[in-house]
Amino acid sequence: MAKSPIQDYLQALHARFSGLTSGKVADYIPELSLADPGWFGICIATQDGHVYEVGDCSQPFTIQSVSKPLTYGRALEQHGEAAVLEKIGVEPSGDAFNAISLHPQSGTPLNPLINAGAIAACSLVPGDSMEDKTATILETFSRYAGRQLDIDHKVYRSESETGHRNRAIGWMLRNFSVIENDPTATLETYFQQCSIRVTCRDLAIMGATLANGGVNTLTGQRAVPEKFVANVLSVMATCGMYDASGDWLYRTGLPAKSGVGGGIMAVQPGRLGIAVFSPRLDQQGNSVRGLAVCHALTADLGLHMFDASQRAIPAIRRATMRRSVKSNQRRTQQANDYLLNVGKKLRVFHLHGALTFASIESVVRVLPGAARPLWLNVICFLDSAQKSWLWSISCWPPERMPKVKPSLPPARPRTNCLS
């Protein structure tokens, strides 16, 4: 099979940053210190399920904080936005991931991606026991990854035995009634969540699942309701890299989340999931090679979300008058006369691309006055599935159009046309 230029590019990127050896493997969770600092993988998964990978992309490691946005999505699914916002804020803390960053008045954690917010989100996951909650989280994460994931129990025990700071955070949240009962089960669930084993490939596919509106691009399974994807990506964009989130968004313009296991998962909404795995971390707990690779990827491939070159493409691919469209359907003279008559008034717009406001505006602008309100109403109230259905039918050949029969007299039954 011909080598893909993208694979070559990733190979070159991997070679370029293999020489970057600054940073330290995490050791505050003793089991994590056993990681090989040389491990290094880069993986890109497209929204439609194509995966490019180079380096140690099948080397298992623990997901750690990359788990937090996924659990946040599960808490939103369970309780809805308003209820979760009452318990967990969406403001960047500007502090380290394990800081006791609670709102001075309410005692609520500032966002769901610092440990305090992640522990609170864990308490909102359905399940009365640690086992139930962990099973829910494993099931959700496996949908994102498109395969059954498991827990690295050695890392779990190591974290549970040394998780004193997180326990302090757990009891602070109990003190402010953010967690409404003994936090022990929630804390153990959180330690299990962080100890779920993934690979760099899994993280890229999880990112592509978010890029694809919550549906796994390989299995077609939904991992999170579409309406919460923007919430998850928003906190990833503003808080995902802790007190380096500002610098990250400035350079990459991509929602992302890092973990002390050495993983970084980044998302280009609607397009890509990107993952880098390298255990050497900087002061903020972000993978050093992961940061460098993502900065280069964004610059080289123009991935920055705020890059104006990603303008909306005009939605009208072709506009025709009904009478100029040739049809093979055989009709009675009366029917033909009727169509000829209305044909002058019928315009067919063939649309393409995502029906976003910006692209549809270019359609509404050219619609004859009378039709505008109808079109606008139709567009604004459709969800994306309906919009893409509307888009698809506007390109269907006539024989595939849904059978909406105009009230014409019945056609003469087909006989042998030669008679």
Place of tokens 């005009």: 314
Cβ nearer to ligand DON, comparing 40 with 97: 97
Q: What type of residue sits at position 198? A: V
Specify the DSSP element, H or E, that contains 296.
helix 288-301
Residue 160 is a catalytic residue: no
- # chain residues binding ligand DON, by CB under 6 A: 12
Among residues 183 and 259, whose Cβ is nearest to ligand DON?
Answer: 259
Neighbours of 59 (CB within 10 A): 17
65 given a catalytic annotation: yes
Span 102-121, contacts to ligand DON by CB under 6 A: 115
CB 166, min distance to ligand DON, A: 5
9 belongs to the catalytic site: no
Among positive and negative, which fits the CA dihedral 380, 383, 389, 391?
Answer: positive
Cβ closest to ligand DON, residue 283 vs residue 386: 283
One residue of 46, 64, 192, 217 binding ligand DON per CB under 6 A: 64
Provide the minimum distance between the beta carbon of 93 and ligand DON in the complex, in angstroms, as a whole number: 13
CB of 309 to ligand DON, least distance (A): 31
- Please tell me the distance from the alpha carbon of residue 202 to that of residue 56, in angstroms, as a whole number: 12
Q: 123 in helix, strand or coil?
A: helix
CB contact set of 108 (below 8 Å; sequence gap of 6+): 86, 87, 88, 89, 102, 120, 176, 178
Cβ atoms of 214 and 142 within 8 Å: the answer is no
Restricted to residues 29-48, the positions that interact with ligand DON (CB under 6 A) are none
- For 289, the 3-state DSSP assignment is helix
Q: Nearest residue to ligand DON, using CB?
A: 65
CB of 184 to ligand DON, least distance (A): 15
Contact set for ligand DON, span 240-269 (CB under 6 A): 258-260
Over the window 264 to 303, marking each residue x when it contacts ligand DON by CB under 6 A and - when it does not, the resulting string is ---------------------x------------------
Is residue 141 within the footprint of ligand DON (CB under 6 A)? Answer: no
Residue 418, class by beta-carbon neighbours within 10 Å (0-12 exposed, 13-18 middle, 19+ buried)? Answer: exposed
Rounded Cα–Cα distance for residues 126 and 31 (Å): 29
**Whole-angstrom distance, CA of residue 38 vs CA of residue 285:** 17
Contact residue for ligand DON among 47, 71, 93, 98 (CB under 6 A): 98
Of 52, 54, 65, 87, which one is the catalytic site residue?
65
Q: Is 201 helix (H, G, I), strand (E, B) or coil?
A: helix
**Applying CB under 6 A, which of residues 47, 65, 71, 268 lies at the interface with ligand DON?**
65
Give min distance, CB of 222 to ligand DON, in A: 26
- 68 part of the active site: yes
Dihedrals phi, psi of 280, to nearest 5 degrees: -70, 125
Q: Which of 260, 267, 293, 363 is catalytic?
A: 260
Close Cβ partners of 18 (under 8 Å, ≥ 6 residues apart) = 40
In the complex with ligand DON, which residue's Cβ is closer, 54 or 235? 235
Looking up tokens 């999505």 gives 73
Among 54, 172, 178, 194, binds ligand DON (CB under 6 A): 194
Q: CA-CA distance, 322 to 260, in Å (whole number)?
A: 61
By the 8 A CB rule, do 137 and 71 touch?
yes
CA distance 215 to 223: 6
Find the shortest distance in angstroms from Cβ 175 to ligand DON.
19
In the complex with ligand DON, the residue whose CB is nearer, 98 or 111, is 98
| Shortest Cβ 163–ligand DON spacing (Å) | 7
Instruction: Look up residue 259 and give its two tokens.
Output: 């973990």
CA gap 26, 37 in Å, rounded: 10
Residues 160-179 that bind ligand DON (CB under 6 A): 166
Q: Please say if 242 is a catalytic residue.
A: yes
One of 68, 87, 133, 387 is an active-site residue; which one? 68
CB of 398 to ligand DON, least distance (A): 56
Alpha-carbon distance of 307 to 106, in angstroms, equals 38
Which CB, 10 or 149, lies closer to ligand DON?
149
Residues annotated catalytic, as ranges: 65, 68, 190, 242, 260
**Residues at the contact surface with ligand DON, assessed by CB under 6 A:** 64-65, 97-98, 115, 159, 166, 194, 258-260, 285
